[in-house]
Amino acid sequence: MYYCFINAVTRKNSLQALKRSRRFVVRVVYFQDLQNFLDEAKDGVIYFSLGSSVRSDHMPEEKRRVFIEAFSELPQKILWKWESAHLPEQPANVKIGTWLPQQDILGNMAVCS
């Protein structure tokens, strides 16, 4: 199994702004659900984020459809940082989150880019 990380925008020290207590609470809330998602990923996981400066839910519909179509054809599961509660036409292999514990996810995986 392998994991892949895609982040279109990277900022040095961007995650250091998070307080330790918030990271703990988020870790507890997301841990079981994310752990199950990762454990069920026989072909690996792709983590997709446009960073904190670009909102995925504001991308043009045509571009969103291209991503959805491409992701739906992949054997991997996709973790997508999506800032709304609902992703139109969400494929079965895609899990969305308005905030995902990126550092924790990447810290527990072998990352390919």
Domain range for 40: 3-9+17-112
pLDDT, mean of residues 11-23: 44
pLDDT confidence band for 44 (50 / 70 / 90): confident
Q: What is the CATH number of the domain that holds 51?
A: 3.40.50.2000
The partner residues of 78 in beta bridges, in order of sequence, read: 46, 94
Q: Any long-range contacts for 20-23 (C-beta under 8 Å, 24+ apart)?
A: 23/101, 23/103, 23/104
Our count of domains for the chain comes to 1
Q: Please choose, from the candidates 27, 39, 46, 33, the residue with its C-alpha nearest in 3D space to the C-alpha of residue 91.
A: 46
Q: What is the pLDDT of residues 54-83, one digit of tens each?
A: 899 999 999 999 999 999 999 999 999 999
Q: Is this prediction's pTM over 0.75?
A: no
Determine what percent of the chain is predicted with pLDDT higher than 90: 38
pLDDT, mean of residues 88-112: 78
